Chains A and B, each alone.
Chain A
Amino acid sequence: MKINETILNSTKISLELLLQIFPVVALWLGIASIASASGLLEKLANALTKVLGPLFPDIPKGHVSLSYIASNIIANVFGLGSAATPFGLKAMSSLQELNEDKKTASRSMITFTTINTSGVTIIPTTIIALRILYGSKNPTATVLATILATSLSTLSGLFFDYLYRRKHE
């Protein structure tokens, strides 16, 4: 039966996926800690506090989690998915430091993953590369449509986040 094969193959796929992302995560965490030790991340956070601060009211001013969130969003916006994941994971672990109940997601975590999963982007690099690969005459044809769709998705995500938060608290 096909399902037997699926179950066994999936374990292999997940190991392959781990091997794919692990070296990139290790590399970027190394680079990120240089940026953190030099104070660059903090500067970035301060610059973006005005924009991101109101979305994350329970993060204290100047806390490092905001810089990781900002770095993750910036990497995503420029279509650098591989750089975005390590920053995202760091953002989550520093948000966990602020979290009172370690088993339950905090409001900032949910706002962050909502922005992240809605795929905020300005340059959808992966899709442009794919379109080039398949011989498109105009590989950037869908950039405008993508920006419009993803903005609507992110904005509505923030709206749903707000609605559910009010329901839960």
Chain B
Amino acid sequence: MSNYILPLMVLGIVLYGIFKKVDMYDVFIDGSKEGFKMAFTIFPNLLAMIVSVNILIDSGFLEFVINLLLPVLKVPIEVISLAIMRPISGNATLALLNTIYTKYGVDSFYGLLSSTIQGCTDTTFYVIALYYGSIGIKNTRYALKTSLLADFVGITASLMICYFLFS
């Protein structure tokens, strides 16, 4: 069903535009040009975020945190890593999902748990850097704090819900 939503959305917008006699092509080109400007404005933010996130991952700091949590939570190291990386890096979580799916099985408990964690929240750091960076905001006040707390609730809830539903 979700395969049809995208084309239907585009079709609906275009049909409504025809109905309202919008100068479709010119309007489209003008809007699209804005994407060009936007891409140039967001690139430095993207660059800064990705370089610092990757340094954080490869410096071994996250490994240190994960090893601290390992004895407390009784789930495999890959799942803990996924939970910690989820708000930080989209690429890293996809790599971890790949490991979990192949090592434990996509329909195993850990496979189901990881799928839920992956789906329940977004890459918070990426969204914050991109969205605020695109309009030149330097002071994001409490934006990161609220989002990370919500991520924490979502991931903890995923754990509990999966234990309740799947084990």
Q: What residues on A are CB-neighbors of B34 within 8 Å?
A: 29, 33
B157 within 8 A of A: yes
In the bound assembly, the distance between CA atoms of A127 and B128 in angstroms comes to 22
Q: Is the CB of B119 within 8 A of A83?
A: no
- Distance in angstroms from B103 CB to nearest chain A CB is 11
A51 within 8 A of B: no
Interface range for A: 35 or more
Could you give, for residues 28-56 of chain A, a 1 whenever the CB lies within 8 Å of some chain B CB and a 0 otherwise?
11111111111110000000000000000
Q: Is the CB of A14 within 8 A of B43?
A: yes
- Distance in angstroms from B38 CB to nearest chain A CB is 6
Chain A interface residues (CB < 8 Å from chain B)? 2-3, 6-7, 9-11, 13-15, 17-18, 21-22, 25-40, 78-80, 83, 85-86, 88-89, 92-93, 95-96, 102-105, 109-110, 113-114, 116-119, 121, 123-128, 130-131, 134-138, 141-142, 144-146, 148-150, 152-154, 156-157, 160-161, 164-165, 167-168
A–B Cβ pairs within 8 angstroms, 28 of them: A7-B54, A10-B54, A14-B46, A22-B35, A25-B38, A32-B31, A37-B17, A38-B20, A86-B35, A96-B137, A103-B136, A105-B139, A110-B140, A113-B128, A113-B132, A116-B122, A117-B122, A117-B127, A117-B128, A119-B121, A126-B119, A131-B106, A149-B116, A149-B119, A149-B157, A149-B158, A157-B153, A160-B150
Q: What residues on A are CB-neighbors of B149 within 8 Å?
A: 156-157, 160
Q: What residues on B are CB-neighbors of A149 within 8 Å?
A: 116-117, 119-120, 154-155, 157-158, 161
